[in-house]
Amino acid sequence: MTASDTRNTSTLLDWSTDEKSETMRDSSLTFSGYLLTTNCTHETIKTRLEPKLTSYLLSGLMPWTGYNITLRRLYNSVDFWRKVRHTELGRATTVTIKTEPSNPPAPKDIRVLANEEGKVVLQIVGPVFWNGSPFKYHIRWEPEDQGRNLSGYKEVNVSSPWPSEKKWTTANLTLEPGVRYNVYVSAQNYIGPDVNFKGPELEKQVATAPLAPIDLVAESLTPTEAAVSWRGDGPAEYFQVTVDEEYIYEGFYRVPPRTNSPLHFSARVPWDEKTESSEHSLIVNNLLPARNYVVEVLACTLNECSGIQRAVVFTQPTSTPKPDITTVDSNLNSFVVGWTFPRYNWRSGYDGFLVRYCRMSKLCEERYTDHHLMNVSSLRPDTIYNIEVRVSIKHSDGHVEVGPAAKAHVKTWSKRPGKPQLHIHAQGASPNSVHLSWAFDNSSVSHVQFLLLYPDLQGSALWTNCTSNASCSVSVIDQQKPFFKTGFLTLKHLEPFTKYSISVRGCNNAGCGERTTQEARTSVSAPSAPVDLKVSRYERNSVFVAWDKPRKPAGPIDGYSVEWQCPPGERLSTFISGDLHSTTVEDLPLGGFNCTFWVSGFNRSWRDHLLQGDLAEAVLS
C-alpha cells in the first residue's frame, strides 16, 4: 500500500490485490473486504472497505498530524459442523504519513486577569489544534472612540511544542486608563523559514480602569450642608459620588449593615472632556445633625472603576419630623413627586400621606396614598404647582392628624428653559468664593450661563459659560430624570467683603430663558498693610506714629496693632481702635533713635476670630 497526494485533511491510498486466499481444514474462507485502521496520538478510526476497491481517498484528517495507516484483508469463515460464522484478518500492510499544515483557528477565549490604571493582563486560551507548530499571537487594539489616536499592536511568542498541561498564554498591555477598547487576537503557527499560517481574529471589549480622583476635599458649610470637590486625574466616563454615615467600631471605620436602605446621597457626575478644568464640586444637603459622614468618589468607565478616594466630614445637629421629598419631575401636562419617611420617625397609627397641590392659592386638590410616590396628570402646560406632602396619623379615638408639610414646587415645561431656582449656600462663609445650587424644571437645558456684577466693575458685564472660564466650576447631577436638571456652581477668585449680584440662566438651541438673580457677600479677610507709615520724634522720649488705612481693608477695620523694638530691648506692642490712624509711643531709650516700628490692621470674622493683616515697617533714624 502506498499513500500519495497527501494534503492537510486527506490522502490517497493505493494497493494491489495479488494476495492468495487461505484454506483451513473443515472450513471455507471467503474474501469479504478490507479493514482500514487510521491511528494518531488523538484518535483511532477503523473503516471497512468494499472488496473490489484498490484505492481509497482517506479524508477527515487533522492538519499537521502524523498517522499510521494499516490495511488488512477480511475473510468470512463458516464451520459447517458447528454452524458458526467467523471473521478473520489477513496480513497487514502499513504506511506512515504526516498531513500538511493549515491556518489555525481563532483563540478559544480571551480573559482579563488584571485591570488597574491602564495595566491590563490578558489570558489567551489557545485553539485546540494549531494545525502547525505554535508560534505567536498577534494582538491589536483600537479605542471605540475613533477620535482618539490610541491604537496599538503587539506580538507574544508561545512555547513550542505546545505543552499539554498549559493551554494558555498571558500578555501584558499598557493602555490609556479610562478608555473603552476593542482588542483583537489571532494565532500564528510555524512551518519553516518564511512559511507560517495566521488564523482569524477573536474580539474582546476591554474597558481600562481610570485613574483614581485626586485632591478630594469635603467641607461642612452649614449644619445640614457640605461641599465636596475633587479633580479627575485622567479620562473617565463618569464619577460616582456616595455619601453615608460613618460608623466607628474598635478603632476602625466601618459602615453599619443595611437592609435595602439606600445611601444618604448618591450621584453620577458625567466627565466632560471639553471642560478645561478637571475640577468638580457639588453640595450635599439634608444631612443629619452631629454626624460623621464618609464621602467616597471613584472614576468609572463602563463597569471598570478606579480605586476609591475617601474623605470624612462632620455636621452639626438638625432634625425635621416631616417627609423628605427626593423626586420632583414634570413633563408637558403631568408631574411625579416622591419622598422618604424614615422609620425612626414613624408614629403609632401611621396611615399614609396627604398630598396637596395648588395651581393658585385657591385652586388646590388633595389626594391620599399609602405609597411614597404619586403621579399627577391632566395638568396645564407652563404652569407652576405648589406641592405639600404630609404624613397622616390616625389615633385610637378616630381623630386624624397630619404632620408638618414638606414643600416643593414644579413647573410643567415649555420649549425654552424656565426661570431657574437659585440658592446661595454658606452665605459669607468664604472670603474668595461663593457656592450656589440651581435647578430647572425641564430637560431642555443644554448649558448654564452666569452674570457677575459688583461695585468696582469696569465696563459692562457679559454672560459667561463656566466650561470656558477658569474662575468657576460647575457640576451637573445625572439623576436620570428626563424633565428635571440640577447642579452646582462655584465662583472663585472673588474679592473679600464684597457684595456681588449673581444671575443664572439656562440655554438650549431655542435660546436662553429668564434669569434668576441673587445677592451674595464674601466674608471678611485679613487686610493689606497700612500705607504711608511715618515715625517722628515727639517731645523728650516719645515718638509719634501715623499711617493711612490699607488700600484693601477686606472688611471694616476693627483695630490696629502697633509694635516697636529698640536695640537691644524686647518687642512691645499696643492696640489702637480702628477709627484712629496715629498714636504716641512714650518712654523710649535715646528718644526712639534706631527703633523699628510695625503697624498692621486686623478684622474680626463672623466666628469672632481676629484676622491680622500685613505689616508696614519704618525705622527712626
Q: Which amino acid is at 330?
A: S
The answer on pLDDT for 460 being more than 70 is no
- State the burial class of residue 66 (Cβ atoms within 10 Å of its Cβ: 0-12, 13-18, 19+): exposed
The answer on pLDDT for 329 being more than 60 is yes
Q: Do domains 421-521 and 531-619 have the same CATH topology?
A: yes
Q: pLDDT tens across 367-392, in order?
A: 999 899 999 998 888 888 999 999 88
Averaged pLDDT of the chain = 82
Ranges of each domain in the chain:
2-98, 109-207, 214-314, 324-411, 421-521, 531-619
Q: What pLDDT is stored for residue 478 in this prediction?
A: 65
SS (H, E, C) 362-409: CEEEEEEECCCEEEECCCCCCCEEEEEEEEEEECCCCCEEECCCEEEE
Architecture of the domain delimited by 214-314: Sandwich (2.60)
**Given pLDDT bands bounded at 50, 70 and 90, which one contains residue 253?**
very low
Q: pLDDT tens across 531-580, in order?
A: 999 998 888 888 999 999 998 898 899 899 999 999 888 899 899 888 88
295 and 311 in contact (C-beta within 8 Å)? yes
Give the three-state DSSP class for 342.
Answer: coil
**Given pLDDT bands bounded at 50, 70 and 90, which one contains residue 16?**
confident
CATH of 2-98, one of 3.90.1150.10, 3.40.50.150, 2.60.40.10, 3.30.70.1230: 2.60.40.10
Across the strands, what pairs with 137?
156, 187
Q: Which of 198, 140, 147, 203 is nearest to 173 (CA)?
A: 140
Separation in Å, CA 342 to CA 170, 262, 479? 52, 11, 22
d(CA 227, CA 221): 6
421-521: CATH superfamily = Immunoglobulins (2.60.40.10)
C-alpha cell at 384: 407652576
**Does domain 531-619 bear CATH number 2.60.40.10?**
yes
d(CA 120, CA 118): 6
Residue with the three cell numbers 471678611: 524
Q: What pLDDT is stored for residue 458 in this prediction?
A: 58
**Given pLDDT bands bounded at 50, 70 and 90, which one contains residue 23?**
very low
pTM exceeds 0.75: no
CATH number of 109-207: 2.60.40.10
Residues 6+ apart with CB under 8 A from 469: none
The answer on pLDDT for 178 being more than 80 is yes
**Given pLDDT bands bounded at 50, 70 and 90, which one contains residue 185?**
very high
Q: Which amino acid is at 380?
A: R
The answer on pLDDT for 491 being more than 50 is yes
d(CA 599, CA 331): 63
What does DSSP assign to residue 466?
Answer: G
For the chain, how far is it from start to end, CA to CA, in angstroms? 125
Q: pLDDT tens across 108-161, in order?
A: 999 988 888 788 899 889 888 888 888 899 999 999 887 778 889 999 988 756
Residue with the three cell numbers 503587539: 154
The answer on pLDDT for 482 being more than 60 is no
d(CA 386, CA 376): 13
Q: If you average pLDDT over residues 281-297, what whole number do you get?
A: 84
Q: pLDDT tens across 258-285, in order?
A: 444 566 788 888 876 655 567 888 999 8
Q: If you average pLDDT over residues 512-517, what whole number do you get?
A: 90
Q: pLDDT tens across 75-98, in order?
A: 887 665 655 567 888 888 999 988
What does DSSP assign to residue 478?
Answer: B
Q: Which of 320, 310, 279, 289 is nearest to 225 (CA)?
A: 289
324-411: CATH superfamily = Immunoglobulins (2.60.40.10)
C-alpha cell at 45: 478510526
Q: If you average pLDDT over residues 360-364, what whole number do you get?
A: 78
Q: If you average pLDDT over residues 493-500, what whole number do you get?
A: 87
Q: What pLDDT is stored for residue 266 in this prediction?
A: 83
Query: What are residue 591's phi and psi, to 5 degrees?
Result: 65, 25
Give the three-state DSSP class for 41.
Answer: coil
Q: What pLDDT is stored for residue 464 in this prediction?
A: 85
Query: ∠ CA 123-129-135 to the nearest 5 degrees?
Result: 65
Q: What pLDDT is stored for residue 249 in this prediction?
A: 44
d(CA 544, CA 39): 117
Q: What pLDDT is stored for residue 100 in this prediction?
A: 83
Phi-psi region of 128 (alpha: psi -120 to 50; beta: other; left: phi over 0): alpha
d(CA 589, CA 566): 7
The distance from CA 367 to its chain's CA centroid, rounded to whole angstroms, is 40
The answer on pLDDT for 318 being more than 60 is no
DSSP string, 229-255: EEE--S--SEEEEEEEE-EEETTEEEP
Q: What pLDDT is stored for residue 406 in this prediction?
A: 92
Across the strands, what pairs with 189?
134, 197
